[in-house]
Structure 1
Amino acid sequence: MAKSLRKRLTISYIIVSLFSVLLIALFSNFVLEVQFREYVKKNIISKSNEIVNSIKENYHNGNWNVSAIENIGVNALENGMIIKVVDGDGNIVWDAKQYNSGQCQNMIAHYSSNMMKRYPNFKGEFKEDSYEIKINSNKIANVSIGYFGPFYFTDNDILFLNTLNGAFIIVSFLTVLISILLGRLISNRISDPIIRVSKSANNISEGEYENIEVVSDISEIDELIKSINNLSQKLKEQEFLRKRLTQDVAHELRTPLSTLKSHIEAMVDGIWEPDKDRLKSCLEEAERLNGLVGDIYKLSRYENDTKLNITTFNLGYLLQSIIMNFEKNLIDKGLNLVTDIKDININADKDKIAQAVVNLISNAIKFSKNGGKVYISNYLSDNKVYIIIRDEGYGISEKDLPYIFERFYRADESRNRDTGGAGIGLSITKSIIDMHKGSIKVNSKINQGSEFIIELPQDTNFLNNTWHNNK
Structure 2
Amino acid sequence: MKSSLKTKLALTYALVAIISILMISLMTNVFLEKQFKEYTIENQENKNKELADLISKQYSDNENWNYKSIESIGINALEQGLIIKLSDNSGKVIWDAATHNNGLCKQMIDHIENNMTKYYGNSSGKYEEKLYTVHNNNNKIGNLQIGYYGPFYYSDNDIEFINTLNKLLLGVGMLALFFAVLLGLFMAKMLSNPISRVVKAAQNIANGFYNNKITEKSETAEIDLLISTINNLAETLENQKNLRKRMSADIAHELRTPLATLQSHLEAMIDGIWKPSTERLESCHEESLRINRLIGDLENLAEYESENYKLSKVKYDIYDQIKKIIYNFQADFKNKGININLNGKREIVFADKDKISQVIINLISNSLKYTPKDGNVEIIIDKSDKEIIIKIKDTGRGISSEDLPYIFERFYRVDKSRNRLTGGAGIGLTIAKAIVNFHKGNIAVKSNLGKGTEFTVLLPKGI
So what's the TM-score if we normalise by structure 1?
A: 0.48
Larger radius of gyration: 2
